[in-house]
Amino acid sequence: MELTADQVLHIAKLARIALTPEEVERFRNQLSSILEHFAVLSEVPTEDVEPTAYPLPLENVMRTDEVAPSLPREDVLANAPEQEDGMFRVRAVLE
């Protein structure tokens, strides 16, 4: 499974990572060999196997609808690099 440079750039963009041309080539090779490694799985016959969405034998884990105390606002904003009027301040995002 050979990835193209465009695919690597697309993945990098989704992850918000900037890559140099050298890095694109390096990760293209590394990611391709990882995919190749896992390609073995596609040889397993799975026609009669139910898809597994969740590996543990658990279902219907729920809580009753009760309000629990929230955090004090100082704690909420404690790690924020920038804040204003009790809110997190970030770079402009388009509407």
Nearest approach in angstroms of CB 36 to other proteins is: 21
Nearest approach in angstroms of CB 5 to other proteins is: 17
Nearest approach in angstroms of CB 39 to other proteins is: 19
Residue with token string 């139910």: 50
Residue closer to other proteins, measured from CB, 14 or 41:
14
The DSSP call for residue 81 is S
Please state, in angstroms and rounded to a whole number, the distance separating the CA atoms of residues 15 and 29.
Answer: 18
Q: Give the binding site for other proteins (CB under 8 A).
A: 10, 13-14, 16, 53-54, 56, 58-71, 73, 76-77, 84-95
- The alpha carbon dihedral of 69, 74, 79, 82 has a sign of positive
